[in-house]
Amino acid sequence: MMDYVIYAFIAVSLIFALTGVVGMLRFKDSYSRMQASTCISTLGVLGVIIGAIIYSVAELSDISMAVKLGVLGLFYIVTSPISGHAIAKAAYRRGVRPEKKMKCDKYGEDLEDDN
* Residue 83: Cβ within 10 Å count: 12
The model's pLDDT over 28-47, given as tens digits with 9 standing for 90+, comes to: 888 888 888 888 878 889 99
Give which of 21, 58, 65 is closest to 43, Cα–Cα: 21
The model's pLDDT over 43-93, given as tens digits with 9 standing for 90+, comes to: 889 999 999 999 999 999 999 999 999 999 999 988 988 888 888 888 888
Write the DSSP symbol of residue 101: P
* Residue 115, pLDDT above cutoff 60: no
How would you write 4-20 as a 3-class SS string? Answer: HHHHHHHHHHHHHHHHH
Task: State the residue range of the domain holding 96.
Answer: 2-114
Q: What is the pLDDT of residue 52?
A: 96
C-alpha 38/C-alpha 13 separation (Å) is 13
- Hey, is 76 helix, strand or coil? helix
Q: What is the pLDDT of residue 34?
A: 85
Write the DSSP symbol of residue 56: H
Q: What is the pLDDT of residue 29?
A: 82
pTM for the full predicted model: 0.79
Q: State how many domains the chain has.
A: 1
